[in-house]
Structure 1
Amino acid sequence: MLKKITRAISFEIVFFVLLSAITCFVLINYVDLTPQVDENFFFSTDDPQFRAEKRISELFQRRDTQLIINAEGDIESSKYLEKIEYLSQKIGSLPGVISVLSISTGPKTIENAFRSPLWRRLLVADNKKATNIIAVLEKNQDERTLPEIEKFARQAQADDFIIRISGAPYIAKLIQRNLLSDLKTFSVLSFIIFTLMILFIFRSFIILCATLLACLNTSMLTLITAHLLHIQIGILTVNLATIVFVLTLSHIVFLTHNWKHLIISLPPKKALIDSIKYTFPPSFWSMFTTLLGFLSLMIVPAKPLRELGISGAIGTIIAIAAAYGIYPAFLRKASAPKFKNEYFEKAEHLIYRKTKRKNKYFIFTLITLGILMLPGLTMIKHDPSIFSYFKKSGEISRGLRYIDRNGGSNPLIIVVKIKSGAKLNTTESYNQLWQLETSLENHEAVGSVISLPVLMAQAKQNPLSFFLSWEWLLEIMEKPAHNEIAKSFVTENRENGLFLLRMKEDKRAKARLEIIEELKKIVHDNGFDSEITGGIYALQGHLSKLVMSSLVFGLFRLLLLFFIISWIVSRSLPVSLAMTASISIIPLIVLGCVGIIQMPLDIIAAPSINIAIAIGIDSMIHMVKYWRNIKQEGKITKQKWEKVRKRLWDPVLNTMSVITLGFGVFLFSQFPPTQRFGGIIVFGSLLAGLTALYLMPWFVCNVFSRKKCEP
């Protein structure tokens, strides 16, 4: 009989090892693990926010996918002009480049550029120390286009010819490179730390292998399933593998802790079965709460958040399946655990005794922090500058900020129509358009404006234009000989005009959508209706608003669901209220702190708060499960809550330690969003462990119970 069982167990292990090998092979060979980030990653074409973009594309010939190459030097020298001409020719010859505008291709000389209403705004920096090369790119340019442009820029770089690059395609490429670099480096480092911590905690090679195999299978199967659903690795899902790895690990820590206590007094098979029976219900409810949290993101009209919701929901289900499907097959082969050596055991008991006597200090600190952080909730930078994605002191950030200060960098489109319904091809309309141009340029957030009146003024500089009407001039500028430039700024029926604004991001204090409303008011005050607003600037504003609203309402929904689930688990209103109040402290303190220290809450860092909450939920549900067991022994006293804390001290602390150290390595990233992502998880995980161990029992006994717990 024993031989049969041994063979069965061996077969299971071999099966799961082979399954892991096949899964790894499929992942490496058939799943693209490169983060897909471009300037249009904010929304899918089906999202409401993207309808404005489609409408603009129907009315006008789009030219706002631009790369700005800024060259600082002696702009009036012949040597400078030669270098600009060389760069313009090289860039214009690349696949994916529609056209190139510079002082060598447009005005021909810097003097002409200074005199021109169009070229002065488009090509000359505000400080008159640099000019721009504007490369208009195809929407889906060749992968080699940007690297080749960077290569040409490096070749031309000199002490007297300083080149800086900006524009939405370039920034998207930089974000992609940073995400890919961090994915390779810090995922491996965190995996190594997870491995060392698991080995230190459980002191078993079999348990280590089982844990890694279960967690890695969760990560791999989640990525493969997402790929089958045509969900690419994106700006939010780039950390998905690490997130589901942690969710699996949390289940395993509690399962192993219960098994460790039962294996001492029970036969191995019964110890495993009983530990699964005891641990699975709280694991299921914590999984269910996390699952609903991810599913709530699927109703958000923003592609990255929906993809995170779908992928996270898949990973949450796979995590519990791997923890209770793959892991037990190996745990059957494990022997009774080797406890920590005498030194660490004494240190652990000493820490427990010290903290036991100072429970009130932890409780006081958590509640005080919650109160002090309240004002920070109103100070959250939920719409941070695009420059917050790069180190402030870094060369890339300095270059982007320089271009931004000298003409703006982030494109915003406003489509206008005269309120009276008049056509835009008359002298009266031209004068009215110029007034609007001037008013928009005077706004502090606007770097430069290219529009129909600027184009018309440029056309009027031709001596022969005196004999031509505005309509004739527009028709001439719609010809291929002039790159059909007029089609980008006026509709065929001459009723709508397009204003292309390059917005300033550096030192922006207001939200993008708030600034857009101010600009729309300027349009209205000048006798126009703003028919459509679009461009990357507007899309980023909408996305930031959706991230914040999904964070606020998502947390509210999650807490409401958690209250219902906590009541199902505890069957006690005071306990469920205490659990909900305790878990609420985590986002309150974390988000309040984020607001007070003015940390940018970008789209990459925002979901990290949900991971910390998931860890806290898992710990609390397991504690309440044990509380229900000892509740049947008589009245609930403070000593019994102390018994709960003592029993689950190890797994709660172990989970907190593993996650804190594992995600702590992200703080050493050179990519600020990754640093913020790791930092918020580390801070939230510490709070999750402390609230579960100290705050929740105190709330039960001293706040929500009709009668205080007996000593």
Structure 2
Amino acid sequence: MLSRFYKNSSRSILWLLALSFPFLHWQAQSIRSNNDIETWLPVESPVRASYEQFKRDFGVEEMVMIGLETPRVSEAQIEALCGRLERLPGVRQCWSPGRLRSTMTDMGVPEDQITARLRGLSESADGRLAGVAVLLSGSGLKDRAGTVRDVESELKYAGLYGPQTALSGGPVVITEMDRLGGKKENTKFFLITLLICLLLLRYWVKDWKLAFAVLALTIWTIDLTLAVFKWCGGEMNFILGALSVMVMVFTLEASIHVIHYFKESQHSSDTLGSALTLCWRPCLISLMTTAVGLFSVSVTDIVPVTQFGYAAALGAVIAMAGGLTITPAILAVIPQKHSEDLAEEGLVFARLAHWLLPRYRVVTVSFLAVGAVALVGLNWLETKIEPLDFLPKQSQVVTDVNRIREHLTSLDSIEGVVEFEDSSLPFTQRLEVVRGLERKLAGHSAVRHVMSAAMFFPDPLPENPMKLLPILQKAQAQSSTSEFVVDGQRAWRISARIECPEGQNLSQIYDELNGLVEGEPIRLTGLAPLIEQAQHEMLNGFWKSFTSAFVVIGLVMTVALRSVRITLLAMVPNVLPMGIIFGLLGWTRFPVDIGMMMTGSIALGISIDGTFHLLVRYRDQLRTGMSNRESVRVALVATGGPIFESIVVSSIGMLALAMSSFAPTYRFGLLMAVLLLATLVGDLLLLPALLCFGGDPARSQTEVPPPVFLEKSRKQDVARQQREKVA
């Protein structure tokens, strides 16, 4: 019935795909991007909620720091630049050394105190670098990239743009992350991936038309996935940049299995019908396990990773469904010649089975021994989120950030909010409380600078009321202090710039600073604690997603195979190789970043596909009366080819991501390729070896006809031997 449907409707199906492609492609390209780091944790998270309250009280924390060489840039030029920058819609205020010095002078701060407060903050210790802090407005936060471009344009207009001028700050780093993880950069290596996969397809299917048609199908499924994701309200981020390659991999994997079953059934009177009968069950279960593996990634509280889980699961369903339903239409339209490829392919895996089966105990023990040593390394597995590490080491942004960090101030900050509930408390007393808290925070070795409204006042304040009154009157008129005091002097801000010493992280420093001010009316928050909390959640999310994927995939396979023993045996060849790889990361103390944390669950969902195909064939052979050992041999020979081809295509597709200069993308691609190849070894070596345990090693007395391609390979061997004798 299905074969008749495809014979009658295949051309209509393919025309429908071709006509829908322009619209889907337009929708896919118009999807929005959002790489805001502060949105990584859910709004209901206490750390995120505290930071959102801070932003409502004091405005946007982010700023662009411009480092200018003072020998070649005069103070008048700096002030002219600040005036132009403040007219930009994305900028609310600029702080230059001259402006800060002028404000402090008006407030009666002695010259020696002014110099000490500005040194290493907006003026370098040697006086050769001046720092201009450009504070973003609300609209600037919504369009960081546009604001950074506007700042660069003003620098060019003033003749100050170039390698001698350093640009630093969160918006600059995030803009560079947007560029490296964006569509334009991703398109470069995606096109290379398409070309490589086209050549591999041509090598395996031996037909250019079929190879081009399958590749066109992958592009259609990618655009359909992105379009549906957009319609569901999804936004792209730098992690989802890998989604296109993943959907391509899933589509090619499904198509390769369908083509393989089609070739295996070519001696049947109804080739297409026989192929669909053979492939629907293992492919459907594979679709379920892959989707479960990807969806399990969404159990974490890291928002971009959760979105990736949803989008990747959607992509897997669309890709697998497209591969299983559209590939038969392609095969019905493009005539296929009878091929002897399966005979040669089967011969390779027959030799592998001939070597493996007598040595199944040695192979199993070897895997378990290596795994036992490697798995110890999981105890030292750690996570790390450092946005600067996402960028290439030779990047101009990294160079600028390091330069400003060395001579001026660091990017990381912990913000303190001092809240005064007693409205009758005088301003001067509040100032002294804030100043006391400043001293406590500044006493920590990791704190480089502390900024608050107190920095604009002399220390100590004049005792003479006649001298103090003009200072307080000027303070009311100063806009600089309004950045640090809000809500009728109820809330005061203290900003501590942090530089982590070797061996410490922001989480430890955050806890230690909380200990220093324990019992005081201050609440610590900021973007740095938010990132640190996300870092902790990453490790929890890694284990939660992998565990949930393992459990749910195991249940699906148990129901499908109706055997707990075989399900457990099936999970070992997939889990153990991945455990070895992650264990090695732990042994080498290589931290897992936000891209790498997803790979375990995704690789498990993909690799279990080949496992299930082998197990279905193994169970089918057992039902015919074949012995356990012979069933393993026939299953390995029959399914080894498509398992090998699909994993190799998947690995090469993922490996293409390693060409990206964006660290999360290339680490994700590289680790995915390594994990998939490791599970391929597990499927082709460890799984058959494990299946040999517990069965009758003797050959069955029942005569079972071998698969067609095995019989043909034996005939080819005999014919070749006869030709060699004649020669």
Same fold (TM over 0.5): yes
The 5 A counterparts of 1:484-499 are: 485-492=480-487, 494-499=489-494
Q: Deviations over 1:499-556 (max 9, x none)?
A: 2223336x764443333222211221xx41543x432212212222222212111101
Compute the RMSD of aligned alpha carbons: 3.7
Is the CA contact (8 Å cut-off) linking 2:286 and 2:612 kept in structure 1?
yes
Provide the residue aligned with 2:256 in structure 1.
253
Aligned pair in 2 of structure 1 residues 127, 558: CA closer, same or farther (>3 Å)?
farther
Q: Deviations over 1:96-124 (max 9, x none)?
A: 11111112333259995972565446413
CA distance in 1, matches of 2:604, 2:210: 26
Provide the residue aligned with 2:171 in structure 1.
169
Is the CA contact (8 Å cut-off) linking 1:202 and 1:337 kept in structure 2?
no
Provide the residue aligned with 1:208 in structure 2.
211
Structure 1 residue 323: deviation in Å?
1.6
Provide the residue aligned with 2:576 in structure 1.
585
Is the counterpart of residue 262 in structure 1 residue 268 in structure 2?
no
The residue type paired with residue 380 of structure 1 is L
**Which shows bigger deviation, 562-571 or 137-146?**
137-146
Provide the residue aligned with 2:724 in structure 1.
none
Is the counterpart of residue 467 in structure 1 residue 468 in structure 2?
yes
Q: Deviations over 1:60-82 (max 9, x none)?
A: 222412111123x4x4x584434
Is the CA contact (8 Å cut-off) linking 1:416 and 1:529 kept in structure 2?
yes
Is the CA contact (8 Å cut-off) linking 2:381 and 2:591 kept in structure 1?
yes
> Helix, strand or coil: the match of 1:99?
strand
> Helix, strand or coil: the match of 1:332?
helix
Is the CA contact (8 Å cut-off) linking 2:37 and 2:531 kept in structure 1?
no
Aligned pair in 2 of structure 1 residues 353, 9: CA closer, same or farther (>3 Å)?
same
Q: Deviations over 1:46-99 (max 9, x none)?
A: 6654322332234x222412111123x4x4x58443443343334333221111
Provide the residue aligned with 1:65 in structure 2.
62
Q: Match for 1:193 among 175, 196, 202?
A: 196
CA distance in 2, matches of 1:79, 1:299: 53
Provide the residue aligned with 2:134 in structure 1.
135
Is the CA contact (8 Å cut-off) linking 1:569 and 1:625 kept in structure 2?
no
The residue type paired with residue 170 of structure 2 is A
Is the CA contact (8 Å cut-off) linking 1:116 and 1:458 kept in structure 2?
no
Provide the residue aligned with 1:613 in structure 2.
604
The residue type paired with residue 59 of structure 2 is R
> Helix, strand or coil: the match of 1:498?
strand
The 5 A counterparts of 1:281-680 are: 281-333=281-333, 334-340=335-341, 363=364, 366-405=367-406, 406-417=408-419, 425=426, 430-457=431-458, 460=461, 466-468=467-469, 473=472, 477=475, 479=476, 481-483=477-479, 485-492=480-487, 494-504=489-499, 509-524=503-518, 527-531=519-523, 533-634=524-625, 636-680=627-671
> Helix, strand or coil: the match of 1:528?
coil
Q: Deviations over 1:355-412 (max 9, x none)?
A: 7787777655643443333343233341232221112244332222232344210233
Aligned pair in 2 of structure 1 residues 457, 257: CA closer, same or farther (>3 Å)?
farther
Is the CA contact (8 Å cut-off) linking 1:49 and 1:539 kept in structure 2?
yes
CA distance in 1, matches of 2:22, 2:584: 40
Provide the residue aligned with 1:217 in structure 2.
220
CA distance in 2, matches of 1:489, 1:665: 48
> Helix, strand or coil: the match of 2:139?
coil
> Helix, strand or coil: the match of 2:497?
strand
Provide the residue aligned with 2:237 in structure 1.
234
Q: Deviations over 1:157-195 (max 9, x none)?
A: 889982221211111110010012431111111111111
The residue type paired with residue 225 of structure 1 is V
CA distance in 2, matches of 1:605, 1:424: 52
Is the counterpart of residue 96 in structure 1 residue 124 in structure 2?
no
Q: Report the identity percentage.
A: 18
Provide the residue aligned with 1:105 in structure 2.
99
Is the CA contact (8 Å cut-off) linking 1:414 and 1:534 kept in structure 2?
yes
CA distance in 2, matches of 1:413, 1:495: 16
> Helix, strand or coil: the match of 1:150?
helix
The residue type paired with residue 558 of structure 1 is A
> Helix, strand or coil: the match of 2:401?
helix
The residue type paired with residue 284 of structure 1 is L
CA distance in 1, matches of 2:162, 2:153: 18
Q: Deviations over 1:343-362 (max 9, x none)?
A: 99988877776777877776
Aligned pair in 2 of structure 1 residues 83, 491: CA closer, same or farther (>3 Å)?
closer
The residue type paired with residue 137 of structure 2 is E
CA distance in 2, matches of 1:33, 1:158: 36
Is the CA contact (8 Å cut-off) linking 1:422 and 1:429 kept in structure 2?
no
* Structure showing greater Rg: 2
The higher relative CO (CA closer than 8 Å, separation ≥ 6) is in 2
Q: Deviations over 1:572-627 (max 9, x none)?
A: 22211112222222431232233334444222333233332222110111111111
CA distance in 1, matches of 2:464, 2:489: 24
> Helix, strand or coil: the match of 1:230?
coil
Taking structure 1 as the reference length, the TM-score comes to 0.86
Aligned pair in 2 of structure 1 residues 583, 445: CA closer, same or farther (>3 Å)?
farther
The residue type paired with residue 387 of structure 1 is L
Q: Match for 1:145 among 134, 147, 151?
A: 147
Is the CA contact (8 Å cut-off) linking 1:582 and 1:696 kept in structure 2?
yes
Is the CA contact (8 Å cut-off) linking 2:265 and 2:271 kept in structure 1?
yes
Is the CA contact (8 Å cut-off) linking 1:117 and 1:458 kept in structure 2?
no
Is the CA contact (8 Å cut-off) linking 1:616 and 1:691 kept in structure 2?
no
Give aligned pairs, total: 687
The residue type paired with residue 534 of structure 1 is T
Is the counterpart of residue 87 in structure 1 residue 89 in structure 2?
no
Is the CA contact (8 Å cut-off) linking 1:380 and 1:601 kept in structure 2?
yes
The residue type paired with residue 695 of structure 1 is L
Is the CA contact (8 Å cut-off) linking 1:182 and 1:674 kept in structure 2?
no
CA distance in 1, matches of 2:276, 2:375: 41
Is the CA contact (8 Å cut-off) linking 2:190 and 2:656 kept in structure 1?
no
Structure 1 segments unaligned to the other structure (5+ residues):
none
CA distance in 2, matches of 1:25, 1:96: 34
> Helix, strand or coil: the match of 2:549?
helix
Is the CA contact (8 Å cut-off) linking 1:157 and 1:163 kept in structure 2?
no
Aligned pair in 2 of structure 1 residues 494, 291: CA closer, same or farther (>3 Å)?
same
